[in-house]
Structure 1
Amino acid sequence: MVTSPRRAGGFPATRVRHAHVHWPAVSAPPVITDVDPAALRRAQENALVELLDIPAVADELGERFRAAGHELYLVGGSVRDALLRRGQSDLDFTTDARPEAVLEIVAGWADATWDTGIEFGTVGVRRGDETLEITTFRADAYDRRSRNPVVRFGDTLEADLVRRDFTVNAMAVEVHAPRGDRRFVDPYGGLAALHAGVLDTPAAPEESFADDPLRMLRAARFVSQLGFTPADRVVEAMQAMAGELTRITRERVQAEFSKLLLGAHPRRGIELLVDTGPAEYVVPEVPAMRLAIDEHMQHKDVYTHSLVVMEQAIEQEESPDLVLRLAALLHDVGKPATRRKEPDGRVSFHHHEVVGAKMVRKRLRELRYPKAVIDDVAQLVYLHLRFHGYGKGEWTDSAVRRYVTDAGPLLERLHKLVRSDCTTRNRRRAAALQRSYDSLENRIAELRKQEELDSIRPDLDGNAIMEILGIPPGPQVGKAYKHLLALRMEQGPLTRDQAEEALRSWAAENLR
C-alpha cells in the first residue's frame, strides 16, 4: 500500500500538482450492488489500456510472440510515460521467452539486433526508427556487496515486477494479446501511486536498496524529473542506508546525478539527497555549505542561497544546461573553507571563488565527468565574482576586454550565472546590481562593434615578433607575445607602427 506523504528527515512533504498528467476518462459502469470492487478496479484498468497510445511496433512484436506461444509485455518506464503522456524514446518489454528464443522470434523482422546484455537476459532490437529492449522475466538474487545480480530467469510477470525499483515502474501492458483483449497488470499499486504523485517501492525499500543502492539516487532523480514525493518508508530507508552508495561505481553515480540536475525540479531532488544523507557520498561539498552563513546575512545559509541561484539560472535557460546548473549549484562551495569573522562582526569569504574552482575540479573528476564539462564549470565558478570586482559599474575598456576574453565561449553562461547570483531581499540593491550588469552588457555590445572582442589577439603574431627583433623561436617570443597581448587589452587595437614601436621598447628593457 502507498503511504501518504508527510515530512520526514526534513524533506518537504508538499507535492507538485501535475498539470501535464491527463488521465483518460473511463465510463462508469451501471451501479450494481453485488459487484466485486477488485473486479471492478481490474475492469477499469483494462479499459484504460485501450486508451493508451501503444506504438504500432509493439503490436507487430506482440503478434510474433503470440504466434511463437510466448507472452510479451510493455513494461516499466514505457508504461509510466505512456500514462503521463510524456514523450517516449526506447521501449522496454519483458517476456517469458529465453534470450535465444527472443532472437529467433525477431529474426527477419528486426533491422538489427545486439546481444551485449544477453547474459542479463536482454536482447536489443532496432526496427525502423524504434529501439527496443526485450528482457526475459527475472528473479535475481544479489550478493549485497556489489550491485551486480546473480542472474536467474523467472517464470511469472509478477515475480519480475516485484524486483523493479518503484511501483510506478512496476506496471505492465499485455501486448501479445489482440487489441481489445489486453490486460493492464499492476500488482503493486503503481497506478494509484502515479495518480497520487508518490514514489514507493514494490518490495520493502530496505530490500530494494540493499539489492541495488543506486535506486536511492534514482529516487531523487524521479523526484526531480516527475515532481513526485517519496513515501515515508522510502525516506527512512534512504536515511538508514545512504552509506551503501559506496558500492556503486562513480560513472553510474554521475549518470544519475546528471539526470537529476537536468530534471524539471532539481532543487527537490537535491534536497532529498541532502536531507536523507546520500549527498555526502555524491557531492559532500553541497551539504557542507549549510555550515556557512552568507555574507549578505539575508539567507538561511549558503546552501539555501545556492539552490535559489540554481533555480534562477534555470529560469534563464532556453533548454536544460548541465554546465550552467552545475556551476550555479557549486559556485559557492569554497565558502566553508574560506569563512572568516571580521573585526566588525561580519563574515567574509575572501578568494572563495579560487578555492571553489579547485574543489569543483576535484569533485567532478572524482565523479568521472568529461574534461570539457569540468573545465567549463570550474571556469564559471572562478569567474562568478569578477563582475563585483569593478565597483559600481566603472568599467574601463580594458576591463571589459579582459572579462570577455577570460570568459571566452562561456560568456553567455557567465551572464546568466552572475545575474542569478543576486538573491538579496533588498529590492533597491537588487535593482542596482541588475542595472550595473545591464551597463556591462551594453559596454560589451558597444566594444564588439568596434573590435573583435571574441578573438582578441596581439597586433603582431609570433612570426612578426621574430622578424622584427631578429630572434629565433623560444621563450623570449612567448614573453613578447604576452606583453603585446596585455597592451592590446589595455589600449585596444594598435596600428602596425605603434605595435612595432611598443615591441622594440619592451625588447630594449627585457632582451639585454
Structure 2
Amino acid sequence: MDIICNDRELFIFKKIAAAAADLGLPAYVVGGFVRDKLIGRPTKDVDVVCVGDGIALAHKVAERLRPQPQVNFFKNFGTAQLKLEDMELEFVGARKESYRSESRNPEVEPGTLEDDQWRRDFTINAMAVSLNGDDYGKLIDPFGGLRDIELQVIRTPREPGGTFSDDPLRMMRAVRFASQLGYAIEETTLEGIRTHADRIKIISQERITDELNKIILSQRPSVGFEYLYRTGLLERIFPQMVDLAGAEYIDGKGHKDNFTHTLQVLDNVAVHTKNLWLRWAAILHDIGKPATKRFEQGHGWTFHGHEVVGGKMVPRIFGRLKLPQHEEMRYVRKLVELHLRPISLTKENITDSAIRRLLFDAGEDLEDLMTLCKADITSKNKQKVKRYLDNFELVQERLKEVEDKDRIRNWQPPVTGEVIMDTFGLPPGKIVGDIKTAIREAILDGVIDNTYAAAYDLMLKIAKNHDLEPVPGRPIEGA
C-alpha cells in the first residue's frame, strides 16, 4: 500500500528534510497524515516528529519557505506550528511520557522515535514516514498499523489498560475512529475500554463533548453510539440516552426499544444533512419517553406528552454536556417539541388553522422539522413506511398552499406592540401583550384576514373590553 502525496506536499517534505539535515536532527512525518494517506482520506494537517528540538526545526523550515510563515511555538510543551495556505504543520521533539493515576497530564522527557510511537493511541496512528537521507520515504510501522488498516480494526500499540488509564480520552477517540472510518474495535482493546470506562470521569466535559460531536458528525453515528453503550461510556457521559434502551412487555404487549429507534433516526437524518444540531434533535426527539411511559389496560404502552417533557429536558442536557445554551439549544428544543405535529396533520379534514399554526411555530426551521419527521419513520414494514411518506408529501403540499396564500412563516402580526402603545397611550406591560396575542391567534385561527386593517379593527374592539380609548386627537385608522 503506497503513500501518494501531491506535488505541494512533496515540496514541503523536501524542505523539512533539508532543514532537519542542516540541524542534524532525524525527522519523520507521523500519525494521522500517514494514516489518512494510506486509506485515501483527505488531510491537510501534518505532524512532524524529530529526535531533538522540534521548535528549532520549525524555525529552520520557516526560513526555507516563501513567503516565510510565522512560527507559533509553545516552549512548555516543546511544540511549534506553521500555518500555510493549504497545510498546517506541527513540529515536536520525540518524547516518552509517564502518567500519574489522578491526572491525564503526563510527565514528559526526550525520547527516541520508538518511544514516541510507543506512547501513541492506536496502531493506525503510530506509523511514521522517514524524511532522512538514508531511508527517505520509508514507512516505519512497528505495531502493525498497516495490517490493521487492511483488517479495518482499531487496536492499541501496547496493552490497552496502560493506554486508556494514562489518557482516558483515548477511549472516546477509539469510538470516534471506529465511527468515522467504519472500523471495528479489536476485542482486547474493547475490553480495555469496558474495564477502564470509569476513568473517563477525570476528563473535562468540554473534551468529552468535542469527541461526542465528532462521533455524531460521522457518516453512520450509530456505530459510535453502539460502542459507547456496550462499553459503559454512554452511561457515564450521557445517562439519559441509556434510559431509552430496552423494551418492556405486559400482557404480551411491548413497545419498541427507543434507544435502537433513536439510532436509526439519527442515521436516517445523517444521510440528508451534516447539520450537527439537526442530528442532536434526532438524538433527543424521544428523550422524554422514559419519563412518560405508561401502560394502559386494553390499549398498551403510551408516551403521552413526551415531546413536551423532552423539550424541557433539552436545556438541562445541553448544560450538562457543555453544549451551547442559546440559539443552537433553542433550535433543538423547538424541533423536539414539534416533531409530532406534522404526523398529526396527515389525518383527514385538517383545518387551514392547524397548518397556519405549524407554519408559524416552525418558521424558518420547517424543512429541518420535516427532515426529522421523515427520519422518524423506522418501521420494517415497507408498505407502512410508504404510506407515511406519501402522507408527509400531502402535508408538505398543504403547507405550501397555505403559505403561498397567507405568508405565515417567519411572520409577525401586522399590528405591533408599538402601535398598540401609541394608540392608547400605554406603557409596555401585560395588557399590550394580551392584545397582541389575541390579534395573532385570531389571524392564525382564520377569524380575521392577515391584513393591517383587519388587525387594527380587532385591536379597537379588544381595547373596548378593557375600557381603553384611543389617545384624544389621534386619528383612528380606517375610520
Q: Which residue of 1 aligns with 2:454?
A: 498
Q: Which residue of 2 aligns with 1:147?
A: 104
Residue 466 of structure 1, aligned match among 416, 421, 427: 421
Is it true that 1:449 corresponds to 2:404 in the alignment?
yes
Asked if 2 retains the 8 angstrom alpha-carbon contact of 1:405 and 1:454, the reply is yes
Residue 421 of structure 1, aligned match among 372, 376, 385: 376
Q: Which residue of 2 aligns with 1:112?
A: 70
Q: Which amino acid aligns with 1:434?
A: L
Asked if 2 retains the 8 angstrom alpha-carbon contact of 1:469 and 1:504, the reply is no
Q: 1:360 aligns to what SS in structure 2?
A: helix
State the identity %.
34
How much does 1:100 deviate?
A: 4.4
How much does 1:107 deviate?
A: 4.7
For residues 28-70 of structure 1, give each alpha carbon's deviation from its aligned partner in whole angstroms, at most 9, with x where no partner exists.
Answer: xxxxxxxxxxxxxxxxxxxx45x55554212212211112111
Q: Which residue of 2 aligns with 1:359?
A: 313
Q: Which residue of 2 aligns with 1:41?
A: none
Residue 157 of structure 1, aligned match among 101, 113, 116: 113
Deviates more, 1:99-108 or 1:201-210: 99-108
The number of equivalent residue pairs is: 460
Query: Could you say if the C-alpha distance between residues 472 and 507 of structure 1 is closer, same or farther in structure 2, counting changes exceeding 3 Å?
Result: same
Query: Could you say if the C-alpha distance between residues 408 and 498 of structure 1 is closer, same or farther in structure 2, counting changes exceeding 3 Å?
Result: closer
For residues 441-474 of structure 1, give each alpha carbon's deviation from its aligned partner in whole angstroms, at most 9, with x where no partner exists.
Answer: 1112122322322221112122322333343443
TM-score (norm: length of structure 2): 0.90
Residue 170 of structure 1, aligned match among 112, 122, 126: 126
Equivalent residue runs for 1:117-128 within 5 Å: 117-128=74-85
Asked if 2 retains the 8 angstrom alpha-carbon contact of 1:292 and 1:335, the reply is no
Is it true that 1:96 corresponds to 2:51 in the alignment?
yes
Is it true that 1:60 corresponds to 2:15 in the alignment?
yes
Q: Which residue of 1 aligns with 2:289?
A: 335
How much does 1:101 deviate?
A: 2.3
Q: 1:440 aligns to what SS in structure 2?
A: helix
Q: 1:92 aligns to what SS in structure 2?
A: strand
Asked if 1 retains the 8 angstrom alpha-carbon contact of 2:55 and 2:80, the reply is no
Is it true that 1:480 corresponds to 2:438 in the alignment?
no
Give me the whole-angstrom Cα distance separating, in 1, the residues matched to 2:20 and 2:166.
31
For residues 164-209 of structure 1, give each alpha carbon's deviation from its aligned partner in whole angstroms, at most 9, with x where no partner exists.
Answer: 000000000012337x743211011111011110110001110000
Q: Which residue of 2 aligns with 1:188?
A: 143
Give me the whole-angstrom Cα distance separating, in 2, the residues matched to 1:127 and 1:459.
53
Deviates more, 1:302-311 or 1:73-82: 302-311
Q: 2:48 aligns to what SS in structure 1?
A: strand
Equivalent residue runs for 1:249-264 within 5 Å: 249-264=204-219
Give me the whole-angstrom Cα distance separating, in 2, the residues matched to 1:349 and 1:469.
47
Q: 2:80 aligns to what SS in structure 1?
A: strand
Query: Could you say if the C-alpha distance between residues 493 and 174 of structure 1 is closer, same or farther in structure 2, counting changes exceeding 3 Å?
Result: farther
Deviates more, 1:284-293 or 1:69-78: 284-293
Give me the whole-angstrom Cα distance separating, in 1, the residues matched to 2:88 and 2:443.
54
Give me the whole-angstrom Cα distance separating, in 1, the residues matched to 2:380 and 2:62.
65
Q: Which residue of 2 aligns with 1:315?
A: 271
Query: Could you say if the C-alpha distance between residues 473 and 364 of structure 1 is closer, same or farther in structure 2, counting changes exceeding 3 Å?
Result: closer
Give me the whole-angstrom Cα distance separating, in 2, the residues matched to 1:417 and 1:488.
28
Give me the whole-angstrom Cα distance separating, in 2, the residues matched to 1:419 and 1:128.
41
Q: 1:151 aligns to what SS in structure 2?
A: strand
- Structure number with the bigger relative contact order (C-alpha 8 A, sep ≥ 6) is 1
Asked if 2 retains the 8 angstrom alpha-carbon contact of 1:294 and 1:301, the reply is no
Q: Which residue of 2 aligns with 1:303?
A: 259
Give me the whole-angstrom Cα distance separating, in 2, the residues matched to 1:415 and 1:391.
13
Asked if 2 retains the 8 angstrom alpha-carbon contact of 1:393 and 1:439, the reply is no
Q: Which residue of 2 aligns with 1:42?
A: none
Query: Could you say if the C-alpha distance between residues 194 and 497 of structure 1 is closer, same or farther in structure 2, counting changes exceeding 3 Å?
Result: closer
Q: Which residue of 2 aligns with 1:510?
A: 466
Q: 1:164 aligns to what SS in structure 2?
A: coil
Q: Which amino acid aligns with 2:378?
A: T
How much does 1:299 deviate?
A: 6.8
Asked if 2 retains the 8 angstrom alpha-carbon contact of 1:99 and 1:118, the reply is no
TM-score (norm: length of structure 1): 0.85
Query: Could you say if the C-alpha distance between residues 99 and 511 of structure 1 is closer, same or farther in structure 2, counting changes exceeding 3 Å?
Result: farther
Q: 1:454 aligns to what SS in structure 2?
A: coil
Asked if 2 retains the 8 angstrom alpha-carbon contact of 1:323 and 1:373, the reply is yes
Q: 2:412 aligns to what SS in structure 1?
A: coil
Q: 1:139 aligns to what SS in structure 2?
A: strand
Asked if 1 retains the 8 angstrom alpha-carbon contact of 2:54 and 2:80, the reply is yes
Deviates more, 1:104-113 or 1:65-74: 104-113
Query: Could you say if the C-alpha distance between residues 429 and 209 of structure 1 is closer, same or farther in structure 2, counting changes exceeding 3 Å?
Result: same
Give me the whole-angstrom Cα distance separating, in 2, the residues matched to 1:126 and 1:380.
39
Asked if 2 retains the 8 angstrom alpha-carbon contact of 1:457 and 1:488, the reply is no
Equivalent residue runs for 1:176-215 within 5 Å: 176-177=132-133, 181-215=136-170
Q: Which residue of 2 aligns with 1:237?
A: 192
Q: 2:76 aligns to what SS in structure 1?
A: helix
Asked if 1 retains the 8 angstrom alpha-carbon contact of 2:31 and 2:127, the reply is yes
Query: Could you say if the C-alpha distance between residues 438 and 500 of structure 1 is closer, same or farther in structure 2, counting changes exceeding 3 Å?
Result: same
Q: Which residue of 2 aligns with 1:265?
A: 220
Asked if 2 retains the 8 angstrom alpha-carbon contact of 1:293 and 1:347, the reply is no
Residue 132 of structure 1, aligned match among 66, 86, 89: 89
Q: 2:304 aligns to what SS in structure 1?
A: coil
For residues 234-276 of structure 1, give each alpha carbon's deviation from its aligned partner in whole angstroms, at most 9, with x where no partner exists.
Answer: 1111111111110000000010001011112211111011011
How much does 1:93 deviate?
A: 1.0
Give me the whole-angstrom Cα distance separating, in 1, the residues matched to 2:218 and 2:253.
30
Is it true that 1:408 corresponds to 2:366 in the alignment?
no
